[in-house]
Amino acid sequence: MDFILNYLNVTAIGFVSLILFCLFLYNPLKLAQRKKEAPTVSGAWPILGHLLLLSSSKAPHRVLGALADKYGPIFTIKLGAKKALVISNWEIAKECFTTNDIVVSSRPRLVAAENMGYNHAILGFSPYGPYWRELRKITTLEILTSRRVEQLQHVRVSEVQSSIKELFDVWRSKKNESGYALVDLKQWFSRLTFNMVLRMVVGKRYFGATTVDDDDVEKAQRCVNAIKDFMRLFGVFPVADAIPYLRCFDFGGHEKAMKETAKDLDSIISEWLEEHRQNRALDENVDRVQDFMDVMISLLDGKTIDGIDADTMIKSTVLVCICSC
């Protein structure tokens, strides 16, 4: 009798174990979760992923559009060692930025943001967290507001008036017998915009009739060149962004150029910051309308947020304000 009971117990245990093993292999919850995952594009190469696919003669957006026709409005590709989610449907995009906005609030850690963005302190490329939330709040409530833009309206008006007067002076001095004068309007508009933005952000004006000193001209050109390099290098796609373990080779010398540009920009912005602090210490022009850097100093001087000091926060925010405008 005991033998029969032991045999039945062993049989029951074995049967239950077999059922549990089958459930582990064919878990319906896991299968349902896998069905919810976005499909992955086939044909990925080891290490390179789908980079070769995107490096074809076709434009990247056309390649991704063809993949969307094949795999649907949401799919994943491998950019080297990193996985990227591609969305081509406004409803899914809306869900990402509303229901699941915290998941997509951060940005990938890029080589450009590390070298030229004060080690990811620059707004727009900093990781989601206390620092990002605090800086976003300061920027949206104190700097990029309609009230602040209205306060600095006189800057835009005066710059347009000065630029038109300078354009008239150029015409008057260089006009030919027919009453015409050749003017590089591309340069004229770029300098007008640059002066306007720079005055609102740091209270500086580099181009115009008043810029006659060689030192001022050199500073202006150095600033413009550094910002142009910043914008160009942020649009570069270094190999290290896709394959981090090849970063030491610095293919194309992009990281070296980024470090040099970052050094130039930091030197320029640090000089502006020191001038603003000196003016505040001397109580000069206390009644004037504050530019963006003045506001940042008032709000952040002496503070540290998530291990990032005030100078870094001010300089990175000023940089992004100048380049985004």
Residues 238-261 pLDDT 10s: 989 998 988 999 999 999 999 999
Which of 150, 117, 172 is closest to 289 using CA atoms? 150
Q: How far apart (Å, rounded) are the C-alpha atoms in residues 219 and 264?
A: 11
Provide the pLDDT for residue 209. 55
Q: How far apart (Å, rounded) are the C-alpha atoms in residues 164 and 166?
A: 5
Tokens 């910043």 sit at which residue? 230
Average pLDDT over residues 167-175: 89
Provide the pLDDT for residue 116. 95
Which of 311, 307, 239, 238 is closest to 271 using CA atoms? 311
Q: How far apart (Å, rounded) are the C-alpha atoms in residues 304 and 250?
A: 33
Provide the pLDDT for residue 325. 62
pLDDT tens digits, one per residue of 206-222: 887 555 466 677 888 88
Please tell me which residue, 49 or 9, carries the higher pLDDT value. Answer: 49
- AA identity, residue 56: S
Residue 159 has pLDDT above 70, yes or no: yes
Provide the pLDDT for residue 81. 87
pTM of the complete model:
0.79
Residue 192 has pLDDT above 50, yes or no: yes
Tokens 């029969």 sit at which residue? 4
What does each C-alpha distance from 67 to 50, 87, 223 come to in angstroms? Answer: 12, 11, 42
Map residue 46 onto helix, strand or coil.
coil
Residue 97 has pLDDT above 60, yes or no: yes
Provide the pLDDT for residue 10. 47
| Those residues with Cβ within 8 angstroms of residue 122's Cβ, 6 or more apart along the chain or in another chain | 113, 116, 316, 317, 319, 320
Which of 208, 217, 218 is closest to 169 using CA atoms? 208
